[in-house]
Structure 1
Amino acid sequence: MPISIKKEHFGKTKNGKDVNKYTFEGGKTVVSVLDFGCAVSNILVPDRKGKLADISLGYDDVAGYEKNFPYIGVAVGRVAGRIAGGKFTLDGKEYKLDINNGPNNIHGGITGLSRRLWKAEIQGDKLKLKYVSPDGEEGFPGEVTTEIMYSLTQEGALTIDYTATTTKPCPVNLTNHSYFNLKGHDDDDVMDHVVQINADSCVPLDDDLIPTGELPDVSGTPNDLRSPVRLGDRESEVRKGNIDLTYCVGDEGELKYVSRISHPPTGRYIDTHTTEPGLQFYTAKYMTDAVGKGGKEYKPFASFCLETQRYPDSVNHSNFPNTILRPGYTYRQTTVFTFGVLKG
């Protein structure tokens, strides 16, 4: 059966605007996306016995996504991650942004792209969402037009294609901020998940969670995840946040295999391919004040994120991958999350 997309009303924003849910059906995996924040709201994946579970954290109503301090499921930007001190200098001019995470700016500001209503269009078996961010929004220069295309194969590969253009030079670094638990969104830990990330180096952070600028080799450290590691076997490091870093996974522009997260008891796994140079692996250490689907209180270390992106605070580090988009050029990113079941 070919993939089809079903549109249904999800609710209204506090300003009375309609929010719709778009569900990809017809394959082994079922995925739902909202036009509010481009949020991936549901991912139903079978285990090795064929039992479906919703492995994606989310909310039952629009109000949850309007609040959504953990950024559950949404697209984040204009710049994903932290910008040190909420400021940067571009072409000789300093720009000051909202401070919304300690002393820093995070994920594009107080509203960013994640709390906006996007224009949605079904194009056959694909869903295109578009948002035009006006010049000066959240303190960023330029009118930036962002389009995100979602598609799903019958075998369970969810592709997210991003493009953006601008009228003035501006940093752009987009990602999706879905939280996963392969046992189901309502489970309380991920320590029995197995992680493998193909990265020889990583991006360490200072006490304010800003990159130090170094890109050290992971060999001999808890951040060496090149061979499969059960999170529970490094639980103390996970709980300290020492594994929650951006990993350097290869050159920008090349679609490459960068990680597998699996749950041996159920057999479910997520493979990640991306054109981005960085993969932020986050085990929800700072999850707080989030009551999700079915009234479930989401807890720290009960989920994980796979944020494909350029490195955090790249705009302030000349040795990091470029995040400056200029007029006449197009920002492009492709990430593919493949949901499957382990053999055996």
Structure 2
Amino acid sequence: MKINRKNHEDGIVEYVLENSTGMKVELLNIGASITGIHVPDRNGNLTNVVLRNDSLEEYRGNLHFLGATIAPVAGRVKDAEIEVDGEKHHFDSNDGPHLLHSGDAGVHTKMWEDAVVEEDGTQKVKFTTSIEDYPGTPEVSILYSLDEDNALKLEYEVKSMGPTAVAPTNHVYFNLNSDTETTIGNHFVRSGASRYLKMDDTLIPESIETCEGIFDLQEGKALQEVFENGDAQIKVANGGYDHYFLLEDEDHFEVYEPESGRKVTITTDFPGLVFYTGNNLDDGLPLAERKPQKYMGFCMEAQVTPAAQHMDLEFEMESQGMYKKETVFRFSVEK
């Protein structure tokens, strides 16, 4: 794998990872963001299969979190209140009464420190930032590496000076189509996940439910079928998925687009992920290359859900000392 570093104006740094098959990944120090993943279709033609802003400067605002690393807490925090070591900390709400993607404490639009490191013979791009004015003053790092089998690995490391509550993720949007004006309605999603978190009217998880009906992904679901479904939970999320699926054992998610033949599979040691189908994207989004519109991309946000603080789940959000998790996106082609 080759790694090239590009310096732009105003401290913006871009990295390009490329393997011998021609797959290319583009990264940015603003928000430790993924700005490009170029993978072949069944005919060998490369396309950038992630949504990106139309300029690097746009990542200083990045209203839809395109490709950004979200920290300290991804997702919606009920009543904008986080409990750490028995003490409640209140934050300014930015999503009704709740806190979305850390609000003002978030680092998705900040400059992260960058470096190329080598671990076990593998070169990686490492981004690091410290989060001041947050319990435990956590230092968050994400390491990106690309292998010869078209797998992009994301490794999260969190160090804290004391008790903290962290739940990072990456918010990259995928669209596997070669046609830049086509939405993800023609994609198929499949997963062995058997449980998901049902949400209330403000999109806060309130109960654990069995994956039935439109949430049963064992045999796969066409996303267009999901968008047209009348299930109350689909309506709550503005016409698609925006739900946390619990993962167990070998559970994973895979999304396939039949025209190009492209498939992306996510595996992770996080306890679950939010599968989001771009229900709130709009035509005002400053996108490069692709047409901005609803359902233009989907996210697979592997993370610890902040709902663990108010629900009886098998895991929690609090941590202290060193915290490590990883997520892998594997790209392949169905002939």
Please list every run of at least 4 consecutive aligned residues from structure 1 whose deviation after the TM superposition is greater than 4 angstroms.
Answer: none
Secondary structure at the aligned position of 2:209 is classed as coil
* Alignment partner of 1:23 out of 13, 16, 20: 16
How far 1:184 sits from its partner (Å)? 4.3
Which digits, 9 at most, give the CA deviation of each residue in 1:186-239, with x for residues without a partner? Answer: 334111101002210001110111011x111113x2111121221123331367
Give me the TM-score of the superposition, normalised by structure 2.
Answer: 0.91
Secondary structure at the aligned position of 2:228 is classed as helix
Q: Is the 8 A contact 1:311 1:320 kept in 2?
A: no
Residues 204 and 10 from structure 1, CA distance in 2 versus in 1: closer, same or farther, beyond 3 angstroms?
Answer: farther
Residues 308 and 119 from structure 1, CA distance in 2 versus in 1: closer, same or farther, beyond 3 angstroms?
Answer: same
Q: Distance in 2 between matches of 1:339 and 1:216?
A: 30
Secondary structure at the aligned position of 2:184 is classed as coil
How far 1:316 sits from its partner (Å)? 2.6
How far 1:322 sits from its partner (Å)? 0.7
Q: Distance in 2 between matches of 1:91 and 1:245?
A: 27
Q: Distance in 2 between matches of 1:60 and 1:277?
A: 34
Counterparts of 1:1-344 in structure 2, within 5 Å, are: 3-12=1-10, 18-28=11-21, 29-110=23-104, 112-124=106-118, 125-134=123-132, 136=133, 140-184=134-178, 186-212=180-206, 214-219=207-212, 221-237=213-229, 240-250=238-248, 256-288=250-282, 289-294=284-289, 296-319=290-313, 321-326=315-320, 329-342=321-334, 344=335
Which digits, 9 at most, give the CA deviation of each residue in 1:164-199, with x for residues without a partner? Answer: 011121110011100000014833411110100221
Instruction: Supply the AA of the counterpart residue of 2:34.
Output: V
Q: Is the 8 A contact 1:84 1:313 kept in 2?
A: yes
Q: Distance in 1 between matches of 2:6 and 2:82?
A: 41
Q: Is the 8 A contact 1:47 1:266 kept in 2?
A: yes
Instruction: Supply the AA of the counterpart residue of 2:62.
Output: N
Unpaired runs of 5+ residues, structure 1, are 13-17
Which digits, 9 at most, give the CA deviation of each residue in 1:92-131, with x for residues without a partner? Answer: 3221112111211011113512111111111252111111
Secondary structure at the aligned position of 1:129 is classed as strand
Instruction: Supply the AA of the counterpart residue of 1:243.
Output: Y
Sequence identity, in percent? 27
Unpaired runs of 5+ residues, structure 2, are none
Q: Is the 8 A contact 2:279 2:295 kept in 1?
A: yes
* Cα-Cα RMSD: 1.8
Q: Is the 8 A contact 1:180 1:305 kept in 2?
A: yes
Q: Distance in 2 between matches of 1:185 and 1:311?
A: 34
Q: Is the 8 A contact 1:64 1:292 kept in 2?
A: no
Which digits, 9 at most, give the CA deviation of each residue in 1:247-294, with x for residues without a partner? Answer: 11126xxxx450110101110010111001111110111113421214
